[in-house]
Amino acid sequence: MKWITLSFILFALFIGTLVVVSMKQEVSLVSKDYYQDELKHSEKMQRMNNANALIAKPELSFEGNKVKLSFDQFSTIENGKLTVQRPSQAALDFQFEVQSGSAPSQYFELQQWEQGLYRVGFAWSANGSEYYVEKLLVL
C-alpha cells in the first residue's frame, strides 16, 4: 500500500513538472497575423503566378548579414516590401521598404541575425498588377 501511494505521488510530481516546463516554453507563430494571412492565401497565390509569368524575375540571396535583392525592373516598382522571417524565432523577423531605382541590386542589412533558415519574401506592385516571390534561404 505504501509503494502504491508513493508511486502516485511521484507520478503527480512528474506530471506537474512537465506542465510547468511546457508553460515556460515560448511558442511563436511565423507571423503575428498568421490566421488572417492564411485567409489571404488565394491572393498570395495570384501574386506568385503574376511573378512567375515575368520574363525577368527578382533574385533573393544572402551576402554576409545582408539580403541582396537583384531585379532588372526596379524602376517600375510602385510599392515594394521585403520581409525576412525566421520561422523558429519571431524576434529575428524584419521588414524593409523597397524603393524604386535604377540600380540592378539593393541590399538590406539585418541588425540581428543568427545562422539558420529564413523565409525571404518580396512583394511589389507595378503597372496595376501585384507580384510576390518567396525563397527559403540559409544564413
How long is the chain? Answer: 139
Name the pTM for this structure. Answer: 0.72
User: Which cell is 29 given?
Assistant: 507563430
Is 6 within the bounds of a domain? no
Count of the separate structural domains present in the chain:
1
Per-residue burial over 36-65, b = 16 or more CB atoms within 10 Å of its CB, e = otherwise: eeeeeeeebeebbebbeeeeeebebebeee
Cell of 51: 511573378
CATH of the domain at 46: 2.60.40.10
Residue 16 is assigned to a structural domain of this protein: no
Q: Has residue 5 been placed in a domain?
A: no
In a domain, 20, yes or no: no
Q: How far apart are CA 48 and CA 81, in angstroms?
A: 14
Residue 112 cell numbers, joined: 540581428
Expressed as residue numbers, the domain containing 118 is 30-138
Residue 4 falls inside a structural domain: no
Q: Is residue 22 part of a domain?
A: no
Give tens-digit pLDDT for 114-126. 888 899 999 999 8
pLDDT in tens, 46-82: 999 999 999 989 999 988 888 999 998 888 888 899 9
Residue, of 37 and 125, whose pLDDT is higher: 125
